[in-house]
Amino acid sequence: MKKKTKHLESAWGIVPVSIFLTIWEIVGRLNLFPGQFLFPPFSAVIKEFYHLTANGVLGKNFLSSLTRVLIGLFSGSVAGITAGVIMGWRDTVNKALNPIISMLYPVPALGWLPLLMLWIGINEMLPITIIFICSFFPVVYNTVTGIKNVDIKYIRAAETLGASQMRILFRVIMPLALPNVFTGLKLEAGMAWRVLVAAEMIAIPTGIGALIMKAESLVRVDIILVCLIVLSVMCLVFEKAFSLIERHFVGRWSNSVRY
């Protein structure tokens, strides 16, 4: 019965989307704008999506963007978690690094772009570094918070049971800090795509962002819309993927993880 209700709820979610797409299609076909190319109907966008997929243009650019996101996000998260764990675990390290992190965290990731263009040059490393920075700081911040928030009672319990400091760190503190770590990761999973596209639009000749810029110069609104839909879907997919990973690791024992 519950399952049926859930399916019905999902079905209801499709209704507004369908209405939106129908209105889009009608407005596009009514030629309200001077020239249909400025506001193509949804069907034309789908047609262009098929065309771009078939000739490999979308796939090639998407793959470039995806590779950058995966490398940047992975390295930024690993570095962020490592730094966060050390800072959270050792108070002296935290006291030394916290002022620097606090100073750099508020700088918008794209704010680094001009500086990095001069330092790194315009190459593959540029978008990867931007995504690295975009992921690193929030993950560090959330990991430190997670570790600091672990209740002392669990550490005391582990101590009385004879656990070594390393065992306490890896078997008690880090698992209990995971919900906070995932908060940082989920935050950055979608953000990485947003930052990447901005970097590609400004400086890099390949990728979804670059494809948007090329389409803009050719006044190909249909291609721009195809790229925006791909981006939107990827942001959602990445956020959902991290939610699923979180559910796998945390959902079984944490009351706070609900889907």
Residue 259 lies near other proteins (rule: CB under 8 A):
no
CB of 241 to other proteins, least distance (A): 22
Residue 169 lies near other proteins (rule: CB under 8 A):
no
Cα dist. 139→146, 161, 224 in Å? 10, 31, 32
Residue 128 lies near other proteins (rule: CB under 8 A):
no
Total residues contacting other proteins (rule CB under 8 A)? Answer: 23
* CA dist., res. 19 & res. 220, Å (int): 25
Inter-residue contact 89 to 178 (CB < 8 Å): no
Residue 98 lies near other proteins (rule: CB under 8 A):
no
Structure tokens at 99: 């002022």
* CA dist., res. 234 & res. 28, Å (int): 25
Please pick, from the candidates 6, 7, 90, 167, the single residue that binds other proteins as defined by CB under 8 A: 167
Residue 255 lies near other proteins (rule: CB under 8 A):
yes
DSSP 250: I
DSSP 126: H
If you search the block for the tokens 């975009």, which residue do you land on?
134
Q: Which stretches within the chain are classed as H helix? A: 2-29, 42-54, 57-89, 91-104, 113-120, 125-148, 152-160, 165-167, 174-202, 208-217, 221-246
Residue range at the interface with other proteins (CB under 8 A); choices 46-54, 73-81, 233-241, 245-253: 245-253
Please say which residue, 8 or 166, places its beta carbon nearer to other proteins. Answer: 166
Please pick, from the candidates 162, 248, 258, 259, the single residue that binds other proteins as defined by CB under 8 A: 162
Residue 253 lies near other proteins (rule: CB under 8 A):
yes
Contact characters 194-223, other proteins, x per CB under 8 A: ------------------------------
Count Cβ atoms within 10 A of the Cβ of residue 256 and give its class: 0-12 exposed, 13-18 middle, 19 or more buried. exposed
Residue 241 lies near other proteins (rule: CB under 8 A):
no
Please pick, from the candidates 13, 151, 217, 259, the single residue that binds other proteins as defined by CB under 8 A: 151
Binding site for other proteins (CB under 8 A): 151, 153-154, 156-164, 167, 171-172, 175-176, 178, 250, 252-255
